Amino acid sequence: MVEPGIHDTLCRAIIALFIPVNIKGEFNTSFKKLENLTRPFVNYFILPLFVFMNSGILLEYFAFKGICSNSILALIYGIIFGLFVGKQLGIMLFSYPFVKFKLCNLPSDTSWLKFYSIAILGGIRFTLSLFIGSILRLRAAALQTL
């Protein structure tokens, strides 16, 4: 899908802009029912799989190795630490001194717990930027061959 035009994930995001909304700005109830039905599946299966597959890991390294081998466990721990724990720690450790030394302020209705929940999303955003970057690299490579 990359060579002929827009990547299919970006197409889906564009199509989502056309979800019906009523005059009051509320979503159609059938859409809400569908969203509530698929939310657990998406949150606990699709998104983690998406993050793993778009993190740039070559699956050929897993060939003929057991699921509990040391190299796979090290890789899983590396992904968890790098994309999940590392981003949270980085965001929190660099933000906290700035707030404490009054170089910036948290919004008045924001607690550190709320701020930490946003820091958790940092790893997801980083992974999505890797995904978009890989799309652009494939596109640039395809254009250079012309």
- Asked whether the beta carbons of 55 and 130 are under 8 A apart, the reply is yes
Per-residue pLDDT of the chain (146 residues; tens, 9 = 90+): 445 556 666 777 777 777 666 666 565 566 677 778 888 887 788 777 777 776 666 656 555 455 555 666 777 777 777 777 788 888 888 889 989 998 888 888 889 998 888 887 776 666 666 666 666 666 666 656 65
CA distance 48 to 75: 15
Question: pTM for the complete prediction?
Answer: 0.41
